[in-house]
Amino acid sequence: MSVTLDIRLKRANKVYLEGETVAGVILLVCKEALQHHGISLSMEGVVNLQLSSKSVGVFEAFYNSVKPIQLISSNIEVAKAGKIPGGKTEIPFEFPLHTKGNKVLYETYHGVFVNIQYTLRCDMKRSLLAKDLSRSCEFIVHCQPQKSKVIPTPVNFTITPDTLQSREKNSLPKFLIRGHLDATNCVISLPLTGEVVVENSDVPIKSIELQLVRVETCGCAEGYARDATEIQNIQIAEGDVCHSLAIPIYMIFPRLFTCPTLETTNFKVEFEVNVVVVLHDDHLITESFPLKLCRL
Amino acid sequence: MAAVQWRSHGRNYDTELQRCRLEAALVDFGDYHPLKPIMVTDTKTRRGTRKGSTSSSSSSSSSAPPDPLSSMLDGTDPLSMFAAASASETPPMSHSSSTGDLGRRKREKEEEAVGPDFEPWSLKRGEILARFTTTEKLSINLFIGSDRGKATSQGSAVSEKVRTRLEELDDLEEGSQRELLNLSQQDYANRIEELNQSLKEAWSSDQKVKALKIVIQCSKLLSDNSVIQFYPSKFVLITDILDTFGRLVYDRIWTMCSDPRPLPDNFTVEDVNDTAKETCLNWFYKIASIRELLPRLYVEAAILKCNRFLNKSGIQETLPRLSAMVRGIGDPLVAAYARAYLCRVGMEVAPHLKDSLNRNFFDLLGTFRQISSENVRAQLVLQRVEMPEYLTLYSPAISWILQCIAYRAPESLLTEMMERCKKLGNNALLLNSVMRAFRPEFVAARATDFIGMIKDCDEAGFPKHLLFGSLGRSLASADPPESERLTILNEAWKVITKVRSPQDYINCAEIWVEFTCRHFTKREVNTILADIIKHMTPDRAFEDAYPQLQSVIRKILTYFHDFSVLFSMERFLPFLDMFQKDSVRVEVCKSIMEVFIKHQVELTRDPVILNAMLHICKTMHDSVNALTLEDEKRSLALLIIGFIRMVRLSHLLYYVNNNHNCCFGLLYCIVLICICCFCFNFGVTFFFFSALQVSFGRDFEQQLSFCVEARATFCNLEPVLVQLIHTVNQLAMETRRVMRGNHSRKTAAFVRACAAYSFITIPSLSSIFSRLSLYLLSGQVALANQCLSQADAFLKAAVSILPEVPRSISVEGKLRSSESFLVDFINSFLATLLVIPDHPEHGVLYLVRGLLNMVQDYTWEDNSDAKVRVYISALPLLAAMSQETYLYSIPKVDSNDTLYGGDPKFLSEINKLCETLIGQILDHLKTLGRDEQSTRRQGALAFSLFGVLLAHGDLRNNKLSQLAVNLWNLSHKHGCCETRTSVRTLEFIKHQTQQPDMTHLSDMVQRLTLQSRT
């Protein structure tokens, strides 16, 4: 006797804002009528923090992982113990996304040390002989759009051997790379844009890349740990590009792995972008720009 | 059975003919008659509604017979109503409420669509693949990804799934890579095709990630230009995969939103459901996170069309962004091809977005200096590729981009492009592409400018002859201003003639021949031919340039149809001499002949043409050897026949047309056509009907001698000989026509010479049926020309070779029984025999007897009634011979009717012969009666003999009528006679009895009974 349990959300993209209602159906498909001891559905929003083994010792990392922070939680009983007829059964449900007290619903974010996740979980209890069934489904929460307008803050940059903070400054070949980012306070749904121009370079250029980096900070009793890890690396130039020709900088912020810059008492999630120029002799020149992401 | 006494039924052909004619009945004016014009009385004006209709008959005038179909309808006919409706663009049956909107959309669509005048990529594709090849070893860097995607359990959360997918992507990029080394070009292409297949498989088995992986890996190959000569071909192969991928993704999303009903072609974003949008968005997000530049660019371009599902302006915004992205590609060749791909996709998806095309091109110009950069040079040295060769690698890409830009572009844009190219120091590569891509009219109008620019180019990178080649190609299809033409030709040829390498030279010269032929006279063409000969003769360079030389000939032939002009070019025949390889020479001769046959309408007695053409035909003829295929022979023969026909003066049908009242003429014509049909089963017949307008001269003798010469020249091709005999026969008939049937001594001698020609030629034919029919035909011709002894000889010869006819012959490669052919021939032979007067030295009916003897001695097939059928059909001839005046006769030839004047002795001879024949037939019927299985045959034969008796025998004779009744009964005895035929026959006889001299038949009718088949 087989039965499948599934949760189907109404919205195809599964994105909800605070204050909205998460609506969908529980879908049960079984061949014959099915006896059960009750079906329950729970919604949960949790921030999971983890300390990196780098900033604290391995064991601390293992034991001291910070307690998860619960953002929202609710539970309802969908069906009392009874029987479900054979065939396809759909049980609709709705959960309002309201927080209790002054808690804020942070935007869904999947990071390395910080994870903000919202799940729906459906459990079906069954008799002793049959296994309980359970199914979970993640949905995505976007925070309320920011009210204020974002005024773009363009950044110009020039990279020469002299501007670098490097010890082997003198051994570097000569080059002059200019460019600009259209804004460092970015709207998360819009791409990061700008231009980079190789004015001249003694050594041919091998590659120019954009590296998106997350900087996660977890605070705990023993202090805090701050770690920067790469989210993605996008190559924007390959080979020895034409000099003094503007090469576009363009990067779409990946979903789930980015969220509006977040600062709370317990943790922080920030982002940076690095413009990385690789020279043919494998010199790596990096210029870093902190970003402030927001949602409009 | 006792011997039958035969009496022929006397006939009066004139009265019979009168009787057969239909009676003319007058139709009263008021009577109905289906063919009488219908008068339209309804004269409503319909102009208003019938605007734009095709039928022009208006209601105002009824003098012209109106179309009965249209007059049947009251008011407008539905077809013209539709036409009117579509003309005024207000479809009366549109379901849409907003018809105006529909019309607008339609118009928009028309604007968007790329017309048929745009040369599609698919055409270029093959060209590039054929052109850019390599013998170097190639390698493919591939990651065959692990199938980890499958391991993901169903229950895992979305985030996990996404993560594993992304990991897989990473895995592809950094993970286990496999390098395939030392692939030959073919292997490489095969590998790519395999990838294409596995892409489709992965897609259909729902492994979308694997599919994406494959595509990414493939497009990554495009950044590798280690075997640079192969790059354009590689581009073609790999973009095929990308196209497949793009199509797959688009189709999938399309089907996702085609529930419940499929999307219309011009759907908008609102029509797309959320799931489809989400899927589409996922693809774009996924592609945006591809690490490397080139795969990201190519894959996004491949699914560009999917932007239509997301928002209106998506494509419009994406194209410029992708164009800008190309700037990040360092290698100029890779970048150029990436741009070409963008233009290709752009043209396909949004041809109206010209801006991004232009931007692409300007960027290309901007990065042009890259080509001569250190990096590129170093690479070329490493790969041992010369600069000119390297530059040609660009031409497909640049040409394609320019073609996209130039497509329906305004003049001003093209001028601007040209100026920009000029600014770049007249870069030869660019110039070349501009000339190839822009409209020929545009290039032609500025041909002088272009020549100036070509001259200013630096010779280093790009060879000038290629530039002139491109210019020539444009000029071949569009005309430059009249006043400049000669200067253009002079300037161009100055450069072309200096080209050293014969191959380069001929490639370029071949193109310019067209321009020259188009605008100049034979003098200039002759000069060019002389120049080509001069260049190609040393070291037998022409041996490697046959295709180009052939194309030169083809071009000349398209423009010079007048062969007297053509052959008066001094260098034309020497040019032909350059084709020294047999097969090529024959090809060329054939193409010349084809043009000759097609365009030479007038007879020419120009000895130059005749000699030259004879030479050409001889060349073709001499190429025939034992190994020549039958088809090849046939086509050669056809061409030569065409030539002989053009030399011919007059036409046989002419003769026929002038002799309407001559029955023999018609008979003759029909016989001839039949003969033609089976002499050579290809369509020679058509020429009997074609050139009635051919003019003719009177120097027949010269023509006869031409035929003699031709016979000697073309002795290997039998169809040609056949044609020659026909020609000579026609000549004889023509002479007869000119002399109005009264031959002078001289012309009589001439027609005898013609007969002699045929008589000598016919035996050299191998096909027995050709021989037979030609003997018969020539005999008829000789008879018509009052050459009695010659006619006798022909017919005798025909009779004498009858026993040689094999029992089976091969028709179109299959072995068939010859019986039916033979019987047909004998029948037509018999028809001719009626008018042949008996030879004074031989006995009565010498030829008829001779023929019948041959028929008797011939070894017919076992179990065949052919012999008896011949006998049966000989009876009507004999009956016709016993008439007082014959059915037909030949003017100025006394047939037996005049010779014997109904002499009873002659008649009794005929009757005796008939009796013998009937006796033979009856014997045969008896033999057939012995065998159960042949009763059907017996019945059929008996019935046909009955028919002959009825029509030709004098049934007043009791014995004969008794025989007829017996035969009737015999044919009905076994019930295998067709009742319908019998009934019709009876009706006919009853009808006949009403004739005054046929009353005796009524007795017989009483005795003929129908037997029902029970």
B598-614, pLDDT tens digit by residue?
887 776 667 778 788 88
Among B453, B443, B358, B340, smallest CA distance to B398 is for: B340
Cβ contacts of B273 on chain A, cutoff 8 Å: 12
Cβ-Cβ contacts under 8 Å for A30 (sequence gap 6 or more): A1, A2, A3, A4, A84, A86, A87, A89
CATH 3.40.50.2000 fits A3-142, yes or no: no
A222-272, pLDDT tens digit by residue?
667 788 899 999 999 988 888 888 999 999 999 889 999 988 888 889 999
B319 vs B356: CA distance, rounded Å: 6
What pLDDT, on a 0 to 100 scale, did the predictor assign at position B829? 92
Please indicate, yes or no, if residue B921 is contained in any of the structural domains.
Answer: no
More confident residue, B685 or B822: B822
Q: Are A46 and A69 in contact (CB under 8 A)?
A: yes
A48 vs B363: CA distance, rounded Å: 49
φ, ψ for residue B12 (rounded to 5)?
Answer: -120, 100
Mean pLDDT of B577-605: 82
Q: Is B939 helix (H, G, I), strand (E, B) or coil?
A: helix
Cβ contacts of A12 on chain B, cutoff 8 Å: 273-275, 277-278
> What six digits make up the tokens of B317?
């915004």
Contact criterion met (CB < 8 Å) for B157 and A235: no
A41 touching B (Cβ < 8 Å): no
- DSSP annotation of A117 reads E
The residue ranges of every structural domain in chain A are 3-142, 155-294
Mean pLDDT of A198-207: 88
Q: Is B532 helix (H, G, I), strand (E, B) or coil?
A: helix
B197 vs B211: CA distance, rounded Å: 10
Architecture of domain A155-294: Sandwich (2.60)
In chain B, how many domains are there?
3
Which residue intervals of chain A are DSSP H helices?
Answer: 58-63
What pLDDT, on a 0 to 100 scale, did the predictor assign at position B140? 64
Which pLDDT band holds residue B277 (cuts at 50, 70, 90)? confident
Please indicate, yes or no, if residue B519 is contained in any of the structural domains.
Answer: yes
> What six digits make up the tokens of B329?
């590609």
Among B680, B689, B754, smallest CA distance to B723 is for: B680
> What six digits make up the tokens of A92?
């609709």
What pLDDT, on a 0 to 100 scale, did the predictor assign at position B179? 57
What pLDDT, on a 0 to 100 scale, did the predictor assign at position B438? 77
B397-430, pLDDT tens digit by residue?
888 888 888 777 777 877 777 777 777 765 777 7
B128 vs B344: CA distance, rounded Å: 15
B26-61, pLDDT tens digit by residue?
666 666 666 665 555 444 444 444 444 444 433 443
- Which of B776, B801, B826 is the last residue before a domain boundary? B801
- Which of B553, B580, B607 is the last residue before a domain boundary? B580
User: What percentage of chain A carries pLDDT values higher than 90?
Assistant: 26
Best mean pLDDT range from A38-47, B86-95, B219-228, B681-690: A38-47
Q: Is the pLDDT of residue B863 over 50?
A: yes
Q: What angle do CA B87, B91, B97 make, to 5 degrees?
A: 145
- Which of B523, B549, B580 is the last residue before a domain boundary? B580
B572 shares its domain with B711: no
Question: Longest C-alpha distance within chain B, in Å?
Answer: 121
Q: How far is CA B314 from CA B280, B318, B321, B738, in A?
A: 12, 6, 11, 84
Among B139, B184, B119, B186, smallest CA distance to B396 is for: B119
B143 shares its domain with B279: yes
What pLDDT, on a 0 to 100 scale, did the predictor assign at position B139? 66
- DSSP annotation of B953 reads B
B293 touching A (Cβ < 8 Å): yes
φ, ψ for residue A34 (rounded to 5)?
Answer: -130, 130
More confident residue, B779 or B154: B779
Mean pLDDT of A105-111: 90
Mean pLDDT of B359-387: 81
Among B576, B559, B654, B578, smallest CA distance to B617 is for: B576
Which pLDDT band holds residue B650 (cuts at 50, 70, 90)? very low
Contact criterion met (CB < 8 Å) for A252 and B289: yes
B768-797, pLDDT tens digit by residue?
888 999 999 999 999 999 888 899 999 999
Contact criterion met (CB < 8 Å) for A234 and B289: yes
Q: Are B337 and B242 in contact (CB under 8 A)?
A: no
More confident residue, B658 or A108: A108
Which pLDDT band holds residue B158 (cuts at 50, 70, 90)? very low
Which pLDDT band holds residue B383 (cuts at 50, 70, 90)? confident
Which pLDDT band holds residue B515 (cuts at 50, 70, 90)? confident
Cβ-Cβ contacts under 8 Å for B187 (sequence gap 6 or more): B138
B741 vs B786: CA distance, rounded Å: 9
What pLDDT, on a 0 to 100 scale, did the predictor assign at position B767? 86
Sign of CA dihedral B197, B202, B205, B206: negative
Average pLDDT, whole number, for chain B?
Answer: 77
What pLDDT, on a 0 to 100 scale, did the predictor assign at position B57? 39
ipTM of the complex: 0.91
B539 vs B682: CA distance, rounded Å: 44
Quick check: do A3-142 and A155-294 share a fold? yes
Cβ contacts of B155 on chain A, cutoff 8 Å: 135-136
- DSSP annotation of B39 reads P
B755 vs B794: CA distance, rounded Å: 9
Q: Are B233 and B193 in contact (CB under 8 A)?
A: no
Contact criterion met (CB < 8 Å) for A250 and B329: no
Q: Is the pLDDT of residue A163 over 50?
A: yes
Q: Is the pLDDT of residue B396 over 80?
A: yes
φ, ψ for residue B660 (rounded to 5)?
Answer: -50, -45
What pLDDT, on a 0 to 100 scale, did the predictor assign at position B191? 83
- DSSP annotation of B497 reads T
What pLDDT, on a 0 to 100 scale, did the predictor assign at position A129? 76
Q: Virtual CA dihedral for B3, B5, B6, B10, nearest 10 degrees?
A: -170
A6 touching B (Cβ < 8 Å): no
b/e burial code for range A229-264 (CB count within 10 A of at least 16 → b): eebbbbbbbbbbbbbeebbbbbbbbbbbbbbbbbee
B140 vs B219: CA distance, rounded Å: 11
Q: Are B275 and A10 in contact (CB under 8 A)?
A: no
B315 vs B455: CA distance, rounded Å: 42
Q: What angle do CA B5, B7, B12 make, to 5 degrees?
A: 170
A96 touching B (Cβ < 8 Å): no
Q: Are B119 and B127 in contact (CB under 8 A)?
A: no
What pLDDT, on a 0 to 100 scale, did the predictor assign at position B691? 32
Among A175, A170, A196, A169, smallest CA distance to A250 is for: A196
B211 vs B198: CA distance, rounded Å: 8
Q: Are A155 and A196 in contact (CB under 8 A)?
A: no
B517 vs B497: CA distance, rounded Å: 17
Q: Is the pLDDT of residue B546 over 80?
A: yes
Which chain A residue lies closest to B275 (C-alpha atoms)? A12
Q: Is the peptide bond before B463 cis (omega within 30 degrees of 0)?
A: no
Q: Is the pLDDT of residue B144 over 50?
A: no
Neighbours of B98 (CB within 10 A): 10
Give the residue numbers spanning the domain of B726. 699-801
- Looking at chain B from residue 616 to 675, which residues have their Cβ under 8 Å from any Cβ of chain A? none
Q: Is B598 helix (H, G, I), strand (E, B) or coil?
A: helix
What length does chain A have? 296
Q: How far is CA B633 from CA B428, B584, B590, B613, B704, in A?
A: 50, 16, 12, 18, 25
Average pLDDT, whole number, for chain A?
Answer: 85
Mean pLDDT of B225-251: 87
Mean pLDDT of B831-837: 89
Please indicate, yes or no, if residue B423 is contained in any of the structural domains.
Answer: no
Neighbours of B935 (CB within 10 A): 16
Distance of CA B968 to the CA centre of its chain: 54
Q: Is the pLDDT of residue A86 over 80?
A: yes
B883-933, pLDDT tens digit by residue?
888 888 888 888 888 888 878 888 888 888 998 999 989 888 888 888 878
> What six digits make up the tokens of B42?
């309804």
What pLDDT, on a 0 to 100 scale, did the predictor assign at position A271? 93
Mean pLDDT of B5-19: 81
Single-letter amino acid, residue B761 = T
Sign of CA dihedral B954, B959, B960, B966: positive
Please indicate, yes or no, if residue B968 is contained in any of the structural domains.
Answer: no
Best mean pLDDT range from A254-258, B126-130, B222-226, B956-960: A254-258
B641 vs B725: CA distance, rounded Å: 11
Which pLDDT band holds residue B87 (cuts at 50, 70, 90)? very low
Cβ contacts of A236 on chain B, cutoff 8 Å: 293, 325, 328
B798-818, pLDDT tens digit by residue?
999 988 888 888 877 788 888
What pLDDT, on a 0 to 100 scale, did the predictor assign at position B27? 61
**B381 to chain A, closest Cα gap in Å:** 17
B149 shares its domain with B293: yes
B391 vs A132: CA distance, rounded Å: 71
Contact criterion met (CB < 8 Å) for A205 and B330: yes
Interface mutation target, options A235, A236, A277, chain B, most CBs of B under 10 Å: A235
Mean pLDDT of B571-578: 85
Which pLDDT band holds residue B105 (cuts at 50, 70, 90)? very low
Q: CB contacts < 8 Å between A and B, how many? A: 100
- DSSP annotation of B651 reads -
Q: Is the pLDDT of residue B938 over 60?
A: yes
Q: Is the pLDDT of residue A160 over 80?
A: yes
Q: Is the pLDDT of residue B135 over 60?
A: yes
What pLDDT, on a 0 to 100 scale, did the predictor assign at position B109? 44
Cβ-Cβ contacts under 8 Å for B26 (sequence gap 6 or more): none
Q: Is the pLDDT of residue B624 over 60?
A: yes
Q: Is the pLDDT of residue A60 over 80?
A: no
Sign of CA dihedral B378, B382, B388, B390: negative
B486 touching A (Cβ < 8 Å): no
A206 vs A245: CA distance, rounded Å: 16
More confident residue, B297 or B702: B297
Neighbours of B813 (CB within 10 A): 6
Residue where the block lists tokens 């091809």: B337
Listed range (A186-195, B10-19, B82-91) with the worst mean pLDDT:
B82-91
